[in-house]
């Protein structure tokens, strides 16, 4: 895979004698697979240079443009990109789905006649517009994954995989936890999700606009520090880190100095090879011997329900509220806003079934109890996002296991709205990830103590799944163990797949709720309708999973049955499933502390 930088500057183009070497144009990167698929990531002013070069080569052109978000410094090159003007050329433009306005309208905005003499309609090439949410899509031979970043506008990072290599572009993005801006501290919550998105990449191009020392004055501006970029890249096992979206005030000499000091640190901590992206810099990335397999996932181009109208957000407000201006902004997005006190939040949630809950910090631990009370509500979606709103970052850290996400002051009302939009977009995709249970660390320790992870098949487990498949007359029965990120099947009757990601797992919901989970028809279940194992192989319609709870109370996995036809499960059937789960647990307990040395599974 071939990567070339055409714009590395953030915010505003900064030409001049002090930016000659790293460049003054705003964000634009050319990526080309060896099969010739052309993808341009972001269209800042650097795109004008790339466009002239492409046009000079002549011939009809076929290309794809991935836009992270529509801030000026990422789209200003579009009107100056000659390949969009020439008839016969074909372009597909992808960008995050917005609220209210279409992508086409947003891009047409900067080309209205008061700003520019040529309108979007006058561009001669065939242009198709695609609005994306978080998920996966295929562009030629390139597997693309998109992931929401933390920025003042809905922004997607992109992970491109082809030729056995993975490249990630992540601009513009601010640390979720401001404590991480200095590059130290535990990477958890949404920052961990961000790091997982970068995992094992051969090259990460990361927002690195600020230094940790500058960050206190830039909180909430939506950008990373170089220290944070290095910390997440190191955590994610990234091979090469390209710092980019350089601050307009950082001149060549300052970047040289910065890279020299970071390289020393990265070598000391066995981090990635680090460099500052420079205009014109090219990289040829070749596959390592073990190439990461492309992961199936939620389709990024799936259309969420129209405009999210009818979605509701519950603001459980403390007094005075930090979110006083938010209801009006959200109502402008046609989102239904419910307001309650923190104490009333469980009752209102039970009654109104909101898509998202924001719980404001009351200063004491009641708020965590309220969150748990909502999670325990009967019939509640396990994946209901509950966001903790506080002015105390340390408190946010202390309670982040209970919440889906945190929103820490200071933030502007429009920033809060963007975060709410991202959560609603995620929730609009009818496939919900289960949160981790409260006792997750203990649960993981219990699995490791079993010593069964990735061990060869054993008849004592296989006969249980065989009996289950015959008894319930289903094609698939599994004994599943759930690690931190992966689910692996100790016994697998009737299916080719031996492991799935936790996000895509049905069992993660049963494990989270520690109760049997029965899904009569996944296609009409909001939690699973768009799950890749429902929409693709093996085409799951029916699922029933019973949690496997050890004597010490840890829920390590499930015994589950699956069918490709919808069906109900009677109470008698559920009782039989419980009996079989009991036998599976007995078998697991029987070998605990046995001859096998517990090993740490590979992530
Ligand atoms: Zn930017
Ligand atoms: Zn931006």
300 against 580, higher pLDDT: 580
Mean pLDDT for the stretch of residues 324-349? 90
CA 135 to chain centre: 8
The CA 68 to ligand 1 mean position distance, Å, reads 9
Q: Is 319 exposed, middle or buried (0-12, 13-18, 19+ CB in 10 A)?
A: exposed
What pLDDT shows up at residue 213?
97
Please name which ligand lies nearest the alpha carbon of 70.
2
Task: Please name the residue that has the structure tokens 């991935």.
Answer: 66
For the cut 80, the answer to whether the pLDDT of residue 185 exceeds it is yes
DSSP state of 524: G
Q: What is the mean pLDDT of residues 213-231?
A: 95
Three-state secondary structure call for residue 235: helix
Q: Residue 534: which of 517, 518, 520, 522 has the closest Cα?
A: 522
Centroid of ligand 1 to alpha carbon of 551 (angstroms): 53
Instruction: Report CA(209)–ligand 1 centroid distance (Å).
Output: 9
Q: Which of 421, 402, 248, 220 is nearest to 326 (CA)?
A: 421
Rg (CA), the chain: 25
Which ligand is the nearest neighbour of the Cα of 153? 2
**Mean pLDDT score, 316-339:** 87
Q: What would the two tokens of residue 48 be?
A: 């004008």
Residues 6+ apart with CB under 8 A from 5: 23, 28, 29, 46, 242, 244, 277, 278, 279, 280, 281, 282
Give residue-wise pLDDT tens across range 441-472: 899 999 999 999 999 999 999 999 999 999 99
pLDDT confidence bin for 305, thresholds 50/70/90: very low
d(CA 21, CA 278): 7
Res 430 pLDDT > 70: no
How high is the mean pLDDT of the chain? 89
pLDDT digits (tens, 9 = 90+) for 58-98: 888 999 999 999 999 999 999 999 999 999 999 999 999 88
Per-residue pLDDT, averaged over 550-557, amounts to 94
- pTM of this prediction? 0.71
Q: What does DSSP assign to residue 295? A: P
Question: Residues whose CB is under 5 A from ligand 2 (ion)?
Answer: 71, 172
Residues lining ion ligand 1 (Cβ < 5 A) are: 10, 73, 172
Distance in Å, CA 358 to ligand 2 centroid: 25
Share of the chain above pLDDT 90, in %: 66
Query: Which of 100-109, 136-145, 183-192, 569-578: highest mean pLDDT?
Result: 569-578
Closest of 127, 111, 119, 7 to residue 61, by C-alpha: 127
Cα–ligand 1 centroid distance for 83 (angstroms): 23
Q: Tell me, what's the pLDDT at 310?
A: 58
Q: Which residue has the tokens 């998920």?
A: 135
Q: State residue 185 phi and psi, 5-degree precision.
A: 105, 170
- Is the confidence at residue 595, as pLDDT, over 70? no
Residue 52 in this model has a pLDDT that exceeds 60: yes
User: What's the gap in Å between 575 CA and the centre of ligand 1?
Assistant: 56
Distance CA 97, CA 76 (A): 19
**3-state class (DSSP) for residue 502:** helix
Please tell me the distance between residue 202's alpha carbon and the centre of ligand 1 in angstroms: 23
How far out from the chain centre does Cα 7 lie? 25
Q: Determine the distance separating the centroid of ligand 1 and the alpha carbon of 587, expressed in angstroms.
A: 55
Ligand nearest the Cα of residue 10 is: 1
Interval 267-288: pLDDT, tens: 888 899 999 999 999 999 998 6
**pLDDT of 603 above 50:** no
């Amino acid at each position: 895979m071939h990567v070339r930088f055409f714009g590395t500057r953030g915010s505003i183009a900064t030409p001049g004698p002090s930016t000659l070497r790293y460049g003054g144009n705003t964000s634009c990167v050319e990526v080309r697979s060896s099969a010739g698929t052309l993808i341009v990531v972001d269209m800042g002013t650097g795109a004008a240079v790339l466009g002239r070069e492409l046009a000079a080569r002549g011939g009809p052109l076929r290309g794809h443009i991935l836009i992270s978000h529509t801030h000026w410094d990422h789209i200003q090159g579009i009107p100056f990109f000659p390949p969009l003007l020439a008839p016969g050329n074909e372009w597909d433009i992808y960008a995050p789905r917005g609220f209210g306005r279409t992508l086409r309208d947003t891009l047409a905005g900067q080309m209205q006649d008061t700003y520019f003499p040529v309108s979007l309609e006058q561009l001669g090439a065939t242009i198709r517009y695609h609005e994306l949410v978080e998920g996966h899509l295929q562009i030629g031979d390139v597997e693309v994954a998109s992931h929401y970043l933390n920025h003042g506008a809905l922004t997607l990072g992109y992970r491109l995989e082809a030729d056995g290599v993975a490249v990630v572009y992540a601009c513009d993005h601010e640390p979720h936890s401001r404590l991480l801006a200095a590059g130290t501290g535990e990477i958890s919550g949404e920052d961990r999700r961000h790091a997982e998105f970068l995992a094992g990449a051969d090259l990460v191009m990361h927002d690195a606009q600020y230094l940790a020392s500058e960050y206190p004055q830039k909180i909430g501006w939506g950008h990373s520090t170089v220290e944070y970029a290095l910390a997440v890249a190191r955590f994610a096992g990234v091979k090469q880190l390209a710092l980019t979206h350089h601050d307009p005030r950082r001149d060549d000499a300052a970047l040289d100095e910065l890279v020299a000091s970071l390289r020393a640190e990265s070598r000391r901590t066995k981090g990635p090879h680090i460099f500052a992206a420079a205009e014109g810099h090219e990289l040829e990335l070749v596959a390592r011997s073990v190439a990461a397999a492309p992961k199936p996932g939620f389709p990024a181009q799936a259309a969420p329900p129209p405009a999210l109208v009818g979605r509701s957000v519950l603001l459980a407000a403390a007094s005075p509220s930090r979110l006083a201006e938010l209801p009006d902004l959200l109502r402008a997005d046609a989102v239904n806003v419910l307001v309650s006190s923190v104490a009333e939040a469980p009752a209102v949630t039970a009654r109104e079934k909101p898509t998202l809950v924001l719980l404001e910090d009351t200063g004491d631990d009641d708020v965590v109890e309220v969150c748990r009370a909502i999670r325990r509500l009967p019939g509640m979606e396990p994946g209901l996002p509950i966001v903790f709103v506080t002015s105390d970052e340390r408190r946010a850290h202390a309670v982040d296991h209970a919440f889906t996400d945190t929103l820490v002051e200071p933030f502007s009302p429009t920033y809060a709205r963007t975060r709410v939009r991202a959560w609603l977009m995620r929730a609009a995709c009818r496939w919900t990830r289960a949160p981790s249970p409260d006792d997750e660390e203990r649960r993981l320790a219990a699995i490791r103590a079993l010593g069964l992870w990735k061990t060869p098949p054993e008849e004592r487990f296989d006969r249980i799944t065989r009996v289950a498949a015959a008894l319930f007359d289903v094609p698939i029965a599994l004994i599943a163990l759930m690690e931190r990120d992966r689910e692996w099947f100790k016994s697998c009757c009737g299916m080719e797949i031996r492991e799935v990601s936790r996000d895509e797992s049905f069992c993660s919901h049963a494990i989270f709720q520690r109760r049997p989970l029965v899904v009569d028809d996944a296609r009409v279940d909001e939690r699973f309708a768009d799950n890749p194992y429902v929409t693709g192989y093996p085409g799951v319609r029916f699922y029933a999973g019973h949690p496997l709870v050890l004597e010490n109370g840890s829920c390590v996995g499930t015994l589950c049955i699956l069918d490709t036809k919808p069906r109900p499960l009677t109470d008698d059937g559920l009782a039989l499933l419980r009996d079989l789960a009991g036998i599976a647990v007995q078998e697991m307990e029987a070998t605990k502390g046995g001859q096998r040395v517990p090993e740490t599974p590979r992530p």
